Chains A and B, each alone.
Chain A
Amino acid sequence: MAHFTKATSLHDWLNQRLGIDTVRRVMATEYWIPKNINFLWAMGMVLAITFGLLLISGIFLLMYYQPNVELAFDSVNYTIMQEVGYGWLWRHIHGVAASVVFLIIYIHMFTGIYYGSYKKGREMIWISGMLLFVAFSAEAFSGYMLPWGQMSYWAGMVITNLFAGGSLHADGLVEWIRGDYVPAQAFLNRFFMLHVLLIPLAILGLIGLHFGALRIPHVNNQDGEEIDFEAEAAKYKSGDKAGSKVIAFVNDFMSKDMMVVGIYLVFFFYLVFYHYDFAMDPVNFDPADGLKTPAHIYPEWYFLWSYEILRPFSTDVGLIAFAFAQVIFFALPFLDKSPNAVPASRRGLFKYWFWALLIDMIVLTAMGKLPPEGIFSTIGLVAALTFIGLWIILPFITKMEKKA
């Protein structure tokens, strides 16, 4: 057993029992981050802050929300939005953050792709990040069911129908997921449970894994340079902060993070107060009605690209393409055969592949919302085929890449 002495201060008392100085050193003051980074490296902190906003606003909403098909709509739009003091504020923060968090996730993902931050030992960072993306997607979808508006109901109908597997006609599976033949009380209750308990638990665990995965391979840098972290840390600690290639997580990196967070929050709260409509579809302000199908059913903007990969094909082919789109990002570290872990701008054809993927996904996003008619469905089909084609050629073009 450890030897305990009479504590000289509260700090000392805690330190003897919890080793808080060690924790602080390992987690903060001597957790080394490369210096050669830009503001895109702050997206992790921006995501953590946004998740915090979602969690806190969600806790407040949970105090008044009623997971009942008769009451849910009014508990959100009347009780929370009108009767409860500042309920509207928490709801708008929650709704806007749910949308903005995906913008930041996509920026974070494309940053990782551009700088090759999924290669050379960083595969688990990428994979745990993709698991987080899936968990956030499930969280967003389940949360979208809760106001029980027209779009909640019909999105729930469409997405759960996917599990019938087209020609497989696994209708039993769909009914099992819904707990009913159509989205109804059992459906709302289970998505409520998923949204407020199971998926948040998974997200918290995955965030731990994602942070843990960074520990050994360290954070990547703007030039993909391999840094001798121990040597550079020693240089930093000896006082040569300017000459060292690394900085401490706290305060060095944190101060830059908070600067980016500050600017981000100006943008975020502007949206919350003055431009929230984009995140709260008007159609969902009509109560759910199983007898009235809305003219246009579309998901929130962050799911549109994968929705558009499903839509232009026949049912079975569409489902296969959709399934492909859901999982293919996980395989990125293994499909990229290049030995180079440097920014895309310094890699042969991959440079073009990156921008082609980005633009193709934006095109898919736009077509996913537009009505699938005329030129839009043609563009959608071409963009969906391009998406699949890009992933098929990835191993070949990266294999051709010479060692830089």
Chain B
Amino acid sequence: MKKNKEPLILAIVVFFTLVTYYLVEPFAHSQMHKHIESEGFTYKDLPELTKQGDVARGKDLVMGAGACTGCHGIEVAGIPAPMDPVTAAQSYGVNPPDLSDAGSVFDPKFLAELIKNPAHALMVEHKFDVNKGQMHPMTQFYGAGGDLDQEVADMVAYFQSIAKKGEELTPAIAFEVACGRCHATRYNKWTQIGYKPTFKKKQDELAFDTKVLDYQDALTKYMGTLPPDLSMYIRSRGEHYISTFVENPQNYLKGTAMPRVGVSAESAEKVIEHLENVGDPVRHDRAEVGRNVMIYIIIFAIFALLWKKEVWKDLH
């Protein structure tokens, strides 16, 4: 009987297939795209918080001398937003966020720096240069007369005390607070001014759409371009790109108007999970159906093998 060459042939076919795959996928992508390692949302460039914050004093500052509520709502504390989103965007460029969950969505170091020096914390100093008279729309906190760092720590402590934590802070809330005032996700009906409801009357729907368009116009003027809809970003950019981009947008797009958002590591995971829910909601079905199909097809292959052996025993 002749030597069976099939294993050798199979090895050659598999070898060339894998070499080709390696070259056009992992290798080519490593050459085409800059690889950026995450720093785990530690914001190493920002100073550590050295002072222990006091919630009660923080509350007084936020409501009083800090003047946060002049622009921001804090719904959980019963303070509504001073303006509707469209007017706010027309005034500031983007709607200032409600601060109810800021204490858990954003990293405390980042929050502190944001209060003291917004353009620096947000990494948009190339866009807002005080020396050129370009003021960031968020006014920096100059202090209420005491130790500035202590006052900032108190305010951060207050925000942390009122914010939803753990399970209560859902992926959707994390996304809405961190990304949702600039980015829409049409696949779950999110617009920059909130979820688009179902309307009974066409007029009401058109009125809502007009508000969204007005908001987007103001935002476009502020950012230079309309920030993209993120519905499919989990497929078009992938998890790694999104999280390293959010951590520091300047990594990939030097000079981009997108600010550093300053989300905590935990919130970053929630934002990614939300984008998966919007762009790839079938992933759990896929895992389950995949397992069943694989079991079926392996059984099929075994029967096919047995059939071949049965038929070919007369042929040798």
Contact = CB atoms under 8 A, between A and B. Distances in A.
Contacts of A263: 301
B16 interface: yes
B301 A371 contact: no
B293 to A, nearest CB: 5
B301 A370 contact: no
Interface stretch (A55-63, A162-170, A277-285): A277-285
A315 interface: no
B137 interface: no
B286 A286 contact: no
A164 B232 CA distance: 34
Contacts of B40: none
Contacts of B28: 366, 369-370
A393 interface: no
Interface string A345-366: 0000000000000100010011
A72 interface: no
Interface string A281-315: 01111100000000110000100100000000000
A404 B221 CA distance: 78
A242 B315 contact: yes
B32 A370 contact: yes
Given A255-B312, A256-B308, A265 B297 contact: yes
Contacts of A89: 286, 289
Interface in B267-293: 281-282, 285-287, 289-290, 293
Nearest to A258: B304
A77 B232 contact: yes
Interface stretch (A7-15, A33-41, A131-139): A33-41
Nearest to B280: A81
A30 interface: no
B19 A270 contact: no
Given A252-B311, A252-B312, A269-B293, A365 B32 contact: no
B238 interface: yes
A38 B303 CA distance: 20
B236 A283 contact: yes
Nearest to A82: B281
Q: How large is the interface on A (under 10, 10 to 19, 20 to 34, 35 or more residues)?
A: 35 or more
A366 B27 contact: yes
Contact of A256 (B19, B21, B27, B312): B312
B308 A259 contact: yes
Interface in B298-316: 298, 300-305, 307-308, 310-312, 314-316
A254 to B, nearest CB: 8
Contact of A270 (B186, B231, B294): B294
B293 A273 contact: yes
Contacts of A256: 308, 311-312
Interface string A245-284: 0010001100110110111011001101110001010111
What secondary structure prevails in chain A residues at the interface with B?
A: helix
Contacts of A39: 6, 9-10
A328 interface: no
Nearest to B17: A103
Given A88-B285, A282-B236, A273 B311 contact: no
A236 B10 CA distance: 29
By CB atoms of chain A within 10 A, which of B21, B232, B290 has the most?
Answer: B232
A241 B32 contact: no
A210 B277 CA distance: 46
Contacts of A81: 282
A38 B312 contact: no
A86 B231 CA distance: 20
Contact of B297 (A103, A262, A304): A262
Given A362-B23, A365-B20, A366-B23, A82 B282 contact: yes
Contacts of B9: 38-40
Contacts of A286: 228, 232, 236
By CB atoms of chain A within 10 A, which of B6, B20, B187, B228 has the most?
Answer: B20
Given A266-B294, A273-B293, 18 more contacts: A35-B315, A39-B9, A40-B9, A40-B13, A77-B232, A242-B315, A242-B316, A259-B308, A261-B304, A269-B294, A270-B294, A272-B293, A273-B290, A274-B290, A295-B32, A304-B24, A366-B23, A371-B31
